[in-house]
Amino acid sequence: MSLKELILKRSAIKGRITKFKNYLAKISQESLDTLQLSELKIKLSRFERLDSEFSKLQGQIETLNESELDDELDTREEFENEFTSSTALALDIVSRYANVRSAEGSHNVSLAADGSNNSQEQAVSHEIGFKLPLIQISKFDGTIFRWLEFRDTFKSLIHDNARILPVHKFHYLNSYLEGEAARVVGNLEVCAANYDKAWGLLCERYNNKRQLISNHLDALFNIELLSRESEHSLRALIDNVNRNLRALASLGQPTEHWDTLIIHMVCSKVDNQTSMKWEEHRNTLDEMPSLNQFNKFLKDRADVLESFNRNKAQHQRTSNPPNASGKNRNTNPHRALSNRSASDCASVTAHRRPELQQSRSLQEAGEGATAILESLAEGVYKRAATTHEVAY
């Protein structure tokens, strides 16, 4: 993938960050019901995955754009600051409403003891709301590796919620399906009696254990090769491997016995420096290393690289402060020295031009005088020779 394409993908992630910040700014001024709070939790879960996506893209961009590494490190730091602040704000809202719901639950119990059935029904009606668009779940288009996430999310929020009527569950389900998945239930009329049938058809079509296992195994065996050591690439690698192993374990695979195989496979994907460091570390162990030990080594390695790169970037900023235009003043010290030397020579030449011209004139005059003297000497010699011959 080209640098331009990677930068475009990074811009898309930044756009999603901005939208989430605007969403938080909006809901922080409103009173949320249960469905809106569930929507916030889902969006927060999806938002947290942006960190690994950005880290992977940014690592590739830094590899291809080494000439602008300082700017890329600034971009990474800016993203991490925005991501951290947005995540903290979302968690604060969730925690605040959790405390409020807890207090309201105690209050509703006391009302029930007093026989306030009508008030309870109104509270339940207000809690459900039946505002279908309020629960935002990632749409499922039939892509097999997205099925588990969609299935578990939909079941926890809607399918297993006894307070939502089956017909409303069917409306929710239709709103989250597209493409091939939508065609699976497209022939069923939306009614309470058909909801269980629609959900059963989806599970029958996509709960393909063999295909799900094959999909996650492909993801493990097709891990991208790390061309250079980077803390973000190492962390993304750890997350990717552990995520697929957890999925395989949930599908009944004996992943607890795969440590040696996984370590060998991942070692073939890391950069040369990390591979050499791991071999040195493994030689200090008395027994075969476990996957937890390998993960800890990679995490420690990522921490070391992050600290080193941060100190390196701070040193570069201190050594080369930017001028008013935002660029380093001495971008090429050899060129600057050469230009200065040429300028100094030109200045000296211009200052001493009168002296040089005078010296050149004196030299030319001296050469003319020498020629005259030589001519006179030759004439005297000839006359002397003639006189000598006459005397004889």
User: Which residues, 6 or more positions from 287, have their beta carbon under 8 angstroms from its beta carbon?
Assistant: none
- Name the DSSP class of 135: S
Q: Choose one of 298, 318, 338: the last residue of a domain.
A: 318
Answer whether residue 392 is part of any domain: no
- Dist. CA 367–CA 123, nearest whole Å: 117
pTM of the full predicted structure? 0.45
DSSP helix/strand/coil, 11: helix
Examine residue 3 and state whether it is found in any structural domain, yes or no.
yes
- Compute the average pLDDT of residues 351-373: 52
Residue 176 lies in a domain: yes
Following CA atoms 217, 219, 220, 224 in sequence, which dihedral angle do they give, to the nearest 10 degrees?
Answer: 160
What would the pLDDT profile of 38-71 be if each residue is shown by its tens digit? 888 888 888 888 888 888 888 888 888 878 887 8
Look at residue 122 in the predicted model and tell me its pLDDT. Answer: 44
Instruction: Extract long-range pairs of 281-288: CB within 8 Å, 24+ residues apart.
Output: 288/259, 288/260
Give me the pLDDT at residue 322, please.
58
Asked if the structure places residue 66 within a domain, the reply is yes
Cβ contact 211:144 at 8 Å: yes
pLDDT band at 241; cut points 50, 70, 90: very high
Same domain, 41 and 96: yes
Token pair 């061309």 is found at 227
- How confident is the prediction for the chain on average, in pLDDT? 76
Calculate what percentage of the chain has a pLDDT beyond 70: 71
Give the pLDDT of residue 321: 63
Buried b (16+ CB within 10 A) or exposed e, 71-94: ebbebbeebeeebeebbebbeebe
CA distances from 186 to 120, 143, 177, 201, 205 (A): 37, 17, 10, 11, 14
pLDDT at 96: 75
Say yes or no: 148 and 249 in one domain. no
Last residue of a domain, one of 207, 229, 262: 207
CA nearest to 88, candidates 143, 155, 24: 24
Q: Do 218 and 174 reside in the same domain of the chain?
A: no
Q: Return the sign of the alpha-carbon dihedral for residues 58, 61, 63, 68.
A: negative
Residue 224: name the closest of 8, 7, 60 by CA.
60
Least confident range from 100-114, 156-170, 319-333: namely 100-114
Q: Has residue 119 been placed in a domain?
A: no
Neighbouring-strand partners of residue 140: 177
> DSSP letter string over 293-315?
HHHHHHHHHHHHHHHHHHHHHHH
Residue that finishes a domain, picked among 129, 161, 195: 129
Q: How far is CA 163 from the centre of its chain?
A: 41
At which residue do the structure tokens 């590739």 appear?
Answer: 60
Residue 143 lies in a domain: yes
Q: How high is the pLDDT of residue 356?
A: 47
Give the model's confidence band at 128: pLDDT under 50 very low, under 70 low, under 90 confident, else very high: very low
What average pLDDT does range 97-101 have in this prediction?
59
What confidence score (pLDDT) does residue 145 get?
A: 76
User: What pLDDT, on a 0 to 100 scale, did the predictor assign at position 2?
Assistant: 84
Q: Which residues form the domain of 141?
A: 137-207
What CATH number is attached to the domain comprising 95?
1.20.58
Same-domain check for residues 157 and 188: yes
pLDDT band at residue 345 using 50, 70 and 90 as cut-offs:
very low
